[in-house]
Amino acid sequence: MKTLREYVQDADSRGVAIGHFNISNLEALWAIFTAAKNLNLPVIVGVSEGEEDFVGTEQAVALVKSFRETYNYPIFLNADHHYSFERVKKAIDAGFDAVIVDAVTLPLEENIALTKKCVEYARKVTAKTGRDIMVEAEIGFIGKSSKVLDEIPEGVSEATMTTPEDAKAFVDATGVDMLAPSIGNIHGIVRSGNPRLHPERVKAIRKATGVPLVLHGGSGTMSEDFINCIKEGIDIVHINTEIRVAFRDGLKKSLQNNPDEVAPYKFLQEGKCAMQAVIEARLKLFNNL
Ligand SMILES: [Zn+2]
């Protein structure tokens, strides 16, 4: 099986993107795996610090590994938005395939220092174990929470988008494998509509840095914007809020329609299927299917 790095390079050369979807439970993992397998596409499972604490660090690794090995399938695990060296190290030590160091709210020099420390640790583990661990970092604030919002998060504007110069300096200073820039994207879904993305900025940052780019806050984004940004150098797209909403709504409907059902595997089914439908639709879009 190819490594995650090879799948990312492959997506880059073909002008498509790998889907990254977060889990809080086993239902979400089944939904992601089934959707990806139906389309025969590699896929990345993410857990934020909160999701990781809920699922369990070692348990998240074991669960994803069980799908990978049982089905001989390219499914990878990423530590999504980890905020400290200790949390990044814990994920790497447990067996995650990739980590995201999120120090974007710190002053730039501190972001660089923390990211560099995480990259150095990942390289050390790779040298010792042969596991290829990818490290991603962020510059340019895009908001924090994957939920439904009344307005664009404070501190995010066109003026705070990542510049190609800053991106290049950051990648050169840290040696990071992938970069998540701010290109008009935000975490979460804004009720009145998410802002438009800037594909020309993606192109300039990709060219300046030479590393694969990751689009966070994909939920609520227009299809046309996805397609144009993927064409210009986005190789991974994160979707979280959309599948959270799908699960919640599916579960709500199921409980309302079957108030006497007490078997979790029955009343959770509808939430799982709703997530799977969203994931399949997004994967088709990211891969021109
Ligand atoms: Zn994110």
Report the distance separating Cα 140 and Cα 204, nearest Å: 15
12 Cα: distance to centroid of ligand 1 (angstroms) = 20
**Residue 192: burial class (beta carbons within 10 Å; 0-12, 13-18, 19+):** exposed
Reading the block at residue 177, the tokens are 């494998």
Q: Name residues of the chain where pLDDT drops below 50.
A: none
* Cα 100 to ligand 1 centroid, rounded to whole Å: 9
Structure tokens at 100: 């995201």
Residue 151 CA to ligand 1 center (angstroms) comes to 17
State the pLDDT at residue 237: 97
pLDDT at residue 71 in the model: 98
In the prediction, which pLDDT does 50 show?
98
Ligand 1 centroid to residue 81 C-alpha, Å: 6
Among candidates 1, 75, 6, 19, which has minimal Cα distance to 287? 19
216 token code pair: 């966070």
Q: Number of C-alpha atoms within 13 angstroms, CB side, residue 24?
A: 12
**Distance (Å) from CA 65 to ligand 1 centroid:** 23
Residue 185 CA, ligand 1 centroid: distance in Å: 10
Tens digits of residue pLDDT in 38-57: 999 999 999 999 999 999 99
The alpha carbon of 233 is separated from its chain's Cα centroid by a whole number of angstroms, namely: 16
Cα(77) to centroid(ligand 1), Å: 14
Task: Find out whether 275 and 31 touch, Cβ atoms under 8 Å.
Answer: yes
Mapping DSSP onto H, E and C, the string for the chain reads CCCHHHHHHHHHHHCCCEEEEECCCHHHHHHHHHHHHHHCCCEEEEECHHHHHHHCHHHHHHHHHHHHHHCCCCEEEEEEEECCHHHHHHHHHHCCCEEEECCCCCCHHHHHHHHHHHHHHHHHHHHHHCCCCEEEEEECCCCCCCCEECCCCCCCCHHHCCCHHHHHHHHHHHCCCEEEECCCCCCCEECCCCCCCCHHHHHHHHHHHCCCEEECCCCCCCHHHHHHHHHHCEEEEEECHHHHHHHHHHHHHHHHHCCCCCCHHHHCHHHHHHHHHHHHHHHHHHCCC
What is the tens place of the pLDDT at every residue in 123-175?
A: 999 999 999 999 999 998 888 878 898 888 887 778 889 999 999 999 999 99
- Could you tell me the pTM of the whole model? 0.96
Catalogue the active-site residues.
80
